[in-house]
Amino acid sequence: METRHAAGSLTGTRIRERRLGQGRRQADLAREVGISPAYLNLIEHNRRPIAGKLLLDIARALGVEPGELSGAADAARLGLLAAAAARQPEAKAELERVGELAGRFPGWAALVAAQHQRIRALERLTATLSDRLSHDPQLAASLHEVLSTVTAIRSAVSILSEGGGLDPEWQARFLRNVAEDTARLTEAARGLAGFLESGGAEAGEHLSPQEELGAFLEARGYFLAPLEPGGWAGVEAIVAGAKSELVSAAARELAREWLSRYREDAESLPLPRFAALWQECAGDSLLLAERARVGLSRVLRRAACSGGPATRGLVICDGSGTLTTRRELPGFPVPRFGAACPRWPLFQALAQPGRPIRARLEMPGEPRQVFIGTAIADSRWPEGLGGLPVFEATMLVEADPGASDEAALAVGPGCRICPRAACPARREASILAEEA
């Protein structure tokens, strides 16, 4: 808070520095933004507050981002510099003079901050890839196939190359084995290369049915215009037209179920009505569900699958906690392999079916990223009273537009790639160092 306040109170100084740096006269800048030079002088000496339209106008006139003037950018940068120092305490960086560094050497400060962010991003990428290597059954099977085949070829070639006295029958046998294994190795290597080149599980031939469906939906931004009311195609036509993406029969079956539910959601809450209600309820999904007389899970799905850029994420799991839908939101990664963070509202909802759960969530990393998660678990009784219920939990994830310093629940993507060492819900050790 102190940093933010200090950063904000020096807006005028920053305007003055930028103006002087560009060799512009106070009177010229004042005229350009429609204020008197005397007033601009008061602003530049931090004796008049400045915000809103005037700040935007001055920023535009100076050709800089408004955040550069208001100190928002400085505050974020100071936070990154402090985090960089905390990550490497042995460097004994003069933390108490971080403001001086940023003020006197803004370029160097920006470089250190950017490198810190880059290092963190690379660490996360490494962790994700490492996690994939450890858990991806397709990759493990491919590697096993390659190494086993190489072993067989190496042994046979070694025997054949010994020369002298190898029985012709054995010779023919080993030659045949080498030919067979070479063909196998070619196939295995090709599959492995395709897997790695495509970023692993993105390669169609290696996807599980659920991943095939996920890739199909992702390619369409989780929005199926033909299935909206008045649309031009049915579920079967869409599935039939996507055979190159939904390769397996199992994936096509999953797609039929998913798309049928999408159509029911769309018919129950057509987009124009949904958009009007969303605005009327100020984004309160529970209130919207009440007014539209539909279940909350339908509203959450609709909110995440209504076209446009991915500004909302959607995660759905079954009664075992297995994720069945993963629509990621930038900054809110959803693990592809292994389990997700047990602190997500999704799992809290699963433990309390029918009760809506809403929480502000903070993902690890800098700059601070806060989200709102809204979740509910529904139950179905497909076998009637004599059977067991089938549970499903749905969570909508939205970037939080509120003040960034409000309290939020510390969550992560999943234990393996979460740096929160002291998390009370930790299930297994992380492969990341603890967050600074």
Residues in touch with another protein (CB under 8 A): 143-144, 147-152, 154-156, 158-159, 170, 173-174, 177, 180-181
Q: How far is the CB of 282 from another protein (least distance, A)?
A: 53
Q: How far is the CB of 144 from another protein (least distance, A)?
A: 5
Q: How far is the CB of 156 from another protein (least distance, A)?
A: 5
Q: How far is the CB of 209 from another protein (least distance, A)?
A: 23
Nearer Cβ to another protein (151/186): 151
Q: How far is the CB of 206 from another protein (least distance, A)?
A: 19
Q: Residue 87 contacts by C-beta under 8 Å, 6 or more apart in sequence?
A: 116, 433, 436
Nearer Cβ to another protein (170/381): 170
Q: How far is the CB of 399 from another protein (least distance, A)?
A: 39
Nearer Cβ to another protein (176/368): 176
Pairing of strands 357-363, 409-410: parallel
Q: How far is the CB of 187 from another protein (least distance, A)?
A: 15
The size of the chain, in residues, is 436
Q: Which of 394, 318, 336 is nearest to 211 (CA)?
A: 336
Paired tokens of 131: 């996690």
Strand partners of residue 254: none
Nearer Cβ to another protein (174/344): 174
In 1-71, where does DSSP find H-type helix? Answer: 2-9, 11-21, 26-33, 37-44, 52-62, 66-70
Do residues 117 and 166 lie in contact, with contact meaning Cβ atoms separated by under 8 Å?
A: no
Nearer Cβ to another protein (21/164): 164
Nearer Cβ to another protein (9/151): 151
Do residues 306 and 273 lie in contact, with contact meaning Cβ atoms separated by under 8 Å?
A: no
Burial class (CB in 10 A: 0-12, 13-18, 19+), 293: exposed
Nearer Cβ to another protein (143/310): 143
Q: Residue 361 contacts by C-beta under 8 Å, 6 or more apart in sequence?
A: 332, 344, 345, 370, 371, 372, 373, 397, 408, 409, 411
